[in-house]
């Protein structure tokens, strides 16, 4: 295959219309996307249909099983579980998105610079990534959490601050293949600056990989938030996130308060599944393997 043919294939694959057309032919991906829309609607629009008080503890109505007025029961503070799922979902999705955007932005720029610069700069930047990847994430976060308090922004920054490493590797790999293409060489010959080459040629052409990566990053971040919440280092009252809710529910597992476990566990699983299905479909649609 000639380089022209490869460029043509890349261009076709990266054409948004073409990619969307391919995505429509991916039933699992469509299902994932639809499910994600439903979950987002549930979290952000649900409170309009099912308004609940998620700040005032109701001691007398704590840990009620599902019944009239509380379709999924109440938790140990008397908060309506259905409403808490919506509130927790908002936080979890926000953290997931923020962390993914943060990670992808840093990772993309970092990887593009390393890939384009090559040589010693590339070697140094990527060894730095290797070093950071060797730091055990959970251990680091547990140490941080001993001194600092978790909130939506800090959790997003910490998770994003660790997740950009993989994005950087992926984008660097993509840039290594793109930088020898004719359109990049042409831009160089025409005197385009490195900044211009990165921003107008390399990153837009690596967009497929980046979008797929964002989707996976959101899923990963939601799982990390769940894990941190489960370990007791998630958000605290009055904020809720799914991980903290699950942790609280599991604490009462012996009391058979099943409604504190299954619904939130299901939400985490479905969201991550939806994101992964969508990411897989996107990856296929853009025609390149992100990994």
Helix (H) and strand (E) counts for the chain? Answer: 14, 0
Question: What is the Cα gyration radius of the chain?
Answer: 22
Letter string b/e over residues 190-209, b meaning 16 or more CB atoms within 10 A of that residue's CB: eeeeeeebbeebbbebbebb
Which is closer to other proteins, CB of 162 or CB of 233?
A: 233
233 contributes a contact to other proteins by CB under 8 A: yes
State which residue, 186 or 255, has the beta carbon closest to other proteins: 255
Asked whether the bond before 118 is cis by omega within 30 degrees of 0, the reply is no
Q: Does 13 bind other proteins (CB under 8 A)?
A: no
Residue from the set 64, 81, 126, 224 that interacts with other proteins by CB under 8 A: 64
Tokens of 212: 């797929």
| Contact of 150 with 233, CB cutoff 8 Å | yes
Taking CB under 8 A as the rule, does residue 252 contact other proteins?
Answer: yes
Among 97, 173, 236, 288, binds other proteins (CB under 8 A): 236
If 0-12 CB within 10 Å is exposed, 13-18 middle and 19+ buried, where does residue 107 land?
buried
Compare residues 156 and 271 and give the one whose CB is closer to other proteins. 271
Rounded distance, CA 142 to CA 144, Å?
5
Instruction: Please tell me whether residue 27 binds other proteins under the rule CB under 8 A.
Output: yes
Distance of CA 139 to the CA centre of its chain: 20
**Judged by CB under 8 A, does residue 9 bind other proteins?**
no
CA distance 99 to 231: 19
Q: Looking at 15, 18, 76, 152, which residue binds other proteins (CB under 8 A)?
A: 76
Give the residue with the Cβ less far from other proteins, 160 or 234. Answer: 234
Q: Does 78 bind other proteins (CB under 8 A)?
A: yes
Candidates 277, 278, 282, 286; binder of other proteins (CB under 8 A) is: 277
The helix or strand, by DSSP H or E, that contains position 290, with its residue range, turns out to be none
By CB under 8 A, residue 237 contacts other proteins:
yes
Q: Out of 5, 49, 146, 180, which residue is the one contacting other proteins (CB under 8 A)?
A: 146
d(CA 99, CA 194): 27
For the bound state, the minimum distance from the C-beta of residue 196 to other proteins, rounded and expressed in Å, comes to 35
The residue within the footprint of other proteins, chosen from 82, 219, 225, 228 (CB under 8 A), is: 219
Examine residue 31 and tell whether it contacts other proteins (CB under 8 A): no
CB 76 within 8 A of CB 252: yes
Q: Which of 159, 261, 278, 286 binds other proteins (CB under 8 A)?
A: 261
* Token representation of residue 46: 């649900």
Residue 59, interface with other proteins (CB under 8 A)?
yes
List residues binding other proteins (CB under 8 A). Answer: 26-28, 55-57, 59-60, 62-64, 75-78, 146, 149, 216, 219, 223, 232-233, 236-238, 246, 248, 250-256, 258, 261-262, 265-266, 268-269, 272-273, 276-277, 279-280, 284
């Amino acid at each position: 295959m000639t380089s022209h043919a490869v460029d043509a294939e890349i261009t076709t694959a990266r054409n948004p219309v073409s990619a969307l057309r391919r995505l429509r032919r991916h039933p699992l991906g469509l299902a994932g996307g639809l499910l994600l829309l439903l979950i987002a609607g549930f979290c952000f629009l649900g409170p309009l249909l099912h308004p609940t008080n998620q700040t005032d503890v109701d001691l007398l109505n704590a840990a009620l099983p599902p019944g009239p007025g509380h379709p999924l029961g109440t938790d140990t503070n008397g908060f309506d579980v259905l409403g808490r799922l919506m509130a927790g979902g908002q936080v979890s999705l926000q953290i997931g998105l923020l962390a993914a955007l943060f990670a992808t932005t840093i990772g993309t720029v970092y990887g593009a610079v390393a890939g384009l610069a090559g040589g010693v700069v590339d070697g140094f930047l990527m060894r730095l990534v290797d070093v950071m990847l060797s730091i055990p994430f959970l251990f680091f976060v547990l140490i941080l959490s001993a001194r600092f308090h978790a909130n939506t922004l800090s959790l997003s920054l910490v998770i994003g601050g660790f997740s950009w490493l993989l994005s950087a590797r992926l984008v660097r790999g993509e840039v290594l293949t793109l930088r020898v293409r004719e359109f990049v060489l042409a831009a160089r010959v025409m005197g385009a600056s490195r900044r211009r080459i990165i921003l107008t040629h390399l990153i837009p052409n690596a967009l497929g990989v980046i979008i797929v990566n964002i989707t996976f990053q959101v899923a990963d971040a939601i799982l990390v938030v769940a894990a941190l919440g489960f370990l007791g280092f998630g958000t605290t009252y009055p904020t809720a996130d799914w991980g903290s809710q699950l942790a609280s529910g599991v604490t009462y597992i012996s009391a058979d308060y099943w409604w504190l476990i299954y619904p939130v566990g299901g939400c985490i699983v479905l969201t991550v599944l939806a994101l992964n299905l969508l990411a897989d479909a996107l990856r296929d649609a853009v025609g390149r393997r992100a990994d």
